[in-house]
């Protein structure tokens, strides 16, 4: 199921006060949406914590935009788009990865070519399909109210798998992020981990599209991680804050969406942005407060006041 | 001398490596005896970093053999874990754009456990003790809680040495580790490296452009320009005639000024 029913949407639209919130939370479709948002938001934040440091933000954005082509293919073939989306995203991610590695062009330019072209093909194909014109809005901006229990099971398994993989390979992932050769010399199977991470990121982008839509998907990956980056001085804490912020903001954003009948994706992203601004404020206050700031160690001769040479 | 002592830490025979379809290293052979300090010198583009990457198993080789502590490096860089754990590599720099949420103590701790999957919280006490000792020995005791991205270049190099010294190792490979440091920081790093090498019994292979440092402290010099042009003791390998052959005319080893305001060059 991709779209909410008209009854459900209408029901959501009239509820704006506390009692209405309770009624809203009593609705099975809303319960599923909130659980889905919590899980996908946490996943986005968790994966984003590495994606942002590896400068894969634009990669996730390109993947999200290109996913529209996968959905279109599913519709053309008469297959549930959700079933097509995950394998499409994985294959597409691997192809882009190969293209970036083998081409001598800058990665951002290549990603731009790939995502704008696939988006163009998808929009042209969708415009030819009379029956699906009404659904474009949900594809672009997300509508998580249509999420079903099997979808939640898939996302929960994915979150568990991502948690176990990232916990066990945390050191390898960080070393890989810092320096490929340092990681390789240390015995990290760099190519294997790089590929595994890209596949995981592609799957997370694919499953999160239902919540946030193809246009705003990268926000799920980027914003919570950037907020976590501002607040953390330990890597596991950074991952925890990113995942928690991702899940928490998605939950809050979906509630706002449910109460106001606004599209879920933009609501979640606006809440995420508010969380980011709060993190920015907290990090600035920490910098200015001598009691909280970490004392500077002895400086190497020649180091500039900012600590860089 | 026992057989394990006699076995070279690194033995390279006929190593040939291509990079981007071009021949970067051509039929290079040499050995590193235990607890020696060897410099790999040559002009830019001579294949020094490519050679180092191939020795560590980071690049495929087209021909030749590499034996690390008597164990053959596999075609895809495979080595027994017991050998891999004896090798430390110190890169020129780390990718630390912006604020990188990793403390110095966490980073050094990553060097403590052998490679392979592990839970972040496993072995915390032992690792903590080893990290504190490594930070102490490298003069980084006060930096443990700092973020890696907050360090100066000189501090970062010392922290990288702490990463290497946090567990016993045999072979330390440095790829232009002093690049980007000013003269006092470079000298400070060099002295620390010498001291740790003596204490730890490391065998060192370092890519360097600082020919004066190489002349002062290395036991062996390998002059590379795609092929190994010459090798041997510094006085032999760094003679004006050989340097002219390697770099072109009018190249002399530059000297450090040891005063704080001294010019590097």
> Tens digits of per-residue pLDDT, A226-244?
999 999 999 999 999 999 9
pLDDT of residue B76: 86
> Tens digits of per-residue pLDDT, A2-20?
344 444 444 444 445 677 7
Task: Write out the H or E segment, with its range, that includes residue B161.
Answer: helix B153-165
When pLDDT is averaged across residues B45-52 and rounded to a whole number, the result is: 91
Task: Write out the H or E segment, with its range, that includes residue B234.
Answer: helix B234-237
pLDDT in 10s for each residue of chain A, 309 residues: 334 444 444 444 444 567 777 888 888 888 998 998 999 999 999 999 999 998 888 888 888 888 888 888 887 888 877 778 888 888 888 888 888 778 778 888 888 888 888 888 888 887 777 665 556 667 777 777 778 888 889 889 999 999 999 999 999 999 999 999 999 999 998 889 988 999 999 888 888 887 777 778 888 899 999 999 999 999 999 999 999 999 999 999 988 988 888 878 889 899 999 999 999 999 988 877 655 545 444 444 333 333 333
> Tens digits of per-residue pLDDT, B162-211?
999 999 999 999 998 877 788 888 888 889 999 999 999 999 999 988 88
Q: Work out the widest C-alpha separation in chain A, in whole angstroms.
A: 70
**Is the CB of residue A197 less than 8 Å from the CB of residue A50?**
yes
Judged by CB atoms closer than 8 Å, whether chains meet at A171 and B91 is answered as: no
Q: Which residues of B touch A185 (CB under 8 A)?
A: 56-58, 87-89, 173
Judged by CB atoms closer than 8 Å, whether chains meet at A187 and B99 is answered as: no
When pLDDT is averaged across residues B127-139 and rounded to a whole number, the result is: 93
Closest partner residue to A167 (CB to CB) among B107, B119, B181 is B119
Please state, in angstroms and rounded to a whole number, the distance separating the CA atoms of residues A229 and A220.
Answer: 15
pLDDT of residue A79: 81
| Domain residue ranges in chain A | 6-288
**Is the CB of residue A203 less than 8 Å from the CB of residue A89?**
yes
Judged by CB atoms closer than 8 Å, whether chains meet at B102 and A174 is answered as: yes
Q: Which residues of B touch A190 (CB under 8 A)?
A: 58
Judged by CB atoms closer than 8 Å, whether chains meet at A234 and B143 is answered as: no
CATH class of A6-288: mainly alpha
* Region for residue B193 given its phi and psi (left: phi exceeds 0; alpha: psi -120 to 50; beta: otherwise): alpha
Strand partners, B37: B204
- ipTM comes to 0.87
CATH class of B1-86+168-252: alpha beta
Judged by CB atoms closer than 8 Å, whether chains meet at B185 and A233 is answered as: no
DSSP B204: E
Judged by CB atoms closer than 8 Å, whether chains meet at A300 and B94 is answered as: no
Q: Strands B10-19 and B63-68, how do they pair?
A: antiparallel
pLDDT of residue B1: 44
φ, ψ (nearest 5 deg) of residue B193: -60, -45
H helices within chain A, ranges in order? 6-13, 18-26, 28-53, 57-77, 81-102, 107-128, 136-141, 149-168, 170-178, 180-185, 190-212, 217-231, 235-260, 264-288
Q: Which residues of A touch B119 (CB under 8 A)?
A: 167-168
Please state, in angstroms and rounded to a whole number, the distance separating the CA atoms of residues A35 and A153.
Answer: 10
Place of tokens 């229990």: A149
For residue A278, count CB atoms less than 10 angstroms from its CB and return exposed for 0-12, middle for 13-18, buried for 19 or more.
Answer: middle
pLDDT of residue A68: 84
Q: Which residues of A touch B115 (CB under 8 A)?
A: 186-188
Judged by CB atoms closer than 8 Å, whether chains meet at B185 and A232 is answered as: no
| Domain residue ranges in chain B | 1-86+168-252, 96-167
The CA distance from B240 to the nearest CA of chain A, in Å, is: 33
Place of tokens 């604020």: B99
| Residue of chain B with shortest Cα separation from A183 | B89
């Amino acid at each position: 199921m991709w779209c909410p029913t008209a009854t459900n949407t209408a029901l959501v639209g009239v509820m704006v006060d506390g009692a209405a919130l309770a009624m809203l939370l009593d609705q099975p479709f809303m319960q599923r949406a909130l659980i889905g948002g919590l899980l996908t938001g946490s996943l986005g934040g968790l994966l984003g914590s590495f994606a942002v440091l590896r400068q894969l933000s634009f990669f996730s954005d390109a993947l999200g935009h290109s996913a529209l082509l996968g959905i279109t293919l599913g519709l053309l073939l008469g297959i549930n788009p959700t079933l097509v989306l995950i394998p499409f995203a994985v294959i597409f991610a691997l192809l882009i990865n190969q293209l970036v590695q083998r081409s001598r062009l800058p990665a951002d330019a290549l990603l731009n070519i790939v995502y704008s072209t696939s988006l163009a093909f998808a929009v042209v194909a969708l415009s030819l399909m009379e029956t699906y014109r009404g659904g474009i809005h949900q594809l672009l901006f997300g509508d998580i109210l249509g999420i079903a229990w099997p979808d939640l099971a898939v996302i929960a398994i994915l979150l568990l798998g991502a948690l176990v993989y990232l916990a066990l390979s945390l050191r390898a992932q960080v070393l890989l992020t810092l320096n490929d050769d340092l990681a390789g010399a240390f015995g990290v199977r760099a190519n294997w981990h790089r590929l595994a991470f890209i596949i995981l990121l592609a799957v997370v982008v694919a499953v999160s599209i239902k919540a946030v839509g193809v246009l705003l998907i990268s926000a799920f990956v980027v914003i919570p991680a950037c907020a976590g980056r501002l607040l953390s001085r330990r890597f596991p804490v950074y991952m925890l804050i990113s995942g928690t912020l991702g899940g928490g903001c998605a939950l809050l954003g979906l509630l706002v969406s449910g109460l106001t009948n606004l599209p879920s994706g933009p609501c979640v992203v606006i809440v995420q942005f508010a969380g980011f601004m709060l993190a920015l404020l907290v990090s600035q206050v920490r910098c200015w407060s001598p009691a909280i700031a970490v004392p500077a160690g002895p400086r190497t001769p020649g180091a500039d006041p900012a600590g860089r040479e | 001398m026992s057989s394990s002592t006699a076995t070279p830490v690194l033995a390279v025979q006929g190593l040939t490596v291509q990079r981007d379809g071009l021949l970067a290293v051509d039929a290079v052979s040499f050995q590193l005896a235990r607890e020696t300090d060897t410099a790999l010198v040559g002009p830019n583009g001579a294949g020094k970093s490519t050679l180092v990457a191939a020795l560590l198993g980071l690049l495929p080789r087209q021909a030749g053999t590499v034996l690390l502590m008597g164990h053959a490096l596999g075609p895809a860089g495979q080595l027994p874990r017991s050998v891999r754990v004896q090798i430390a590599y110190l890169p020129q720099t780390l990718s630390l754009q912006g604020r990188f949420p990793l403390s110095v103590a966490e980073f050094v701790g990553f060097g403590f456990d052998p490679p392979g999957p592990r839970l972040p919280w496993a072995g915390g006490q032992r690792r903590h003790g080893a990290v504190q000792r490594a930070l102490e020995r490298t003069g980084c005791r006060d930096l443990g809680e700092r973020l890696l991205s907050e360090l100066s270049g000189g501090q970062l190099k010392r922290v990288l040495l702490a990463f290497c010294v946090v567990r016993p190792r045999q072979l330390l490979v440095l790829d232009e580790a002093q690049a980007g440091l000013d003269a006092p920081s470079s000298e400070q790093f060099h002295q620390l490296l010498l001291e740790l090498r003596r204490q730890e019994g490391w065998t060192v292979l370092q890519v360097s452009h600082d020919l004066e440092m190489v002349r002062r402290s290395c036991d062996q010099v390998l002059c590379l320009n795609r092929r190994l042009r010459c090798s041997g003791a510094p006085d032999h390998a760094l003679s004006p005639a050989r340097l002219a052959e390697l770099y072109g005319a009018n190249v002399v080893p530059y000297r450090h000024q040891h005063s704080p305001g001294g010019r590097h060059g």
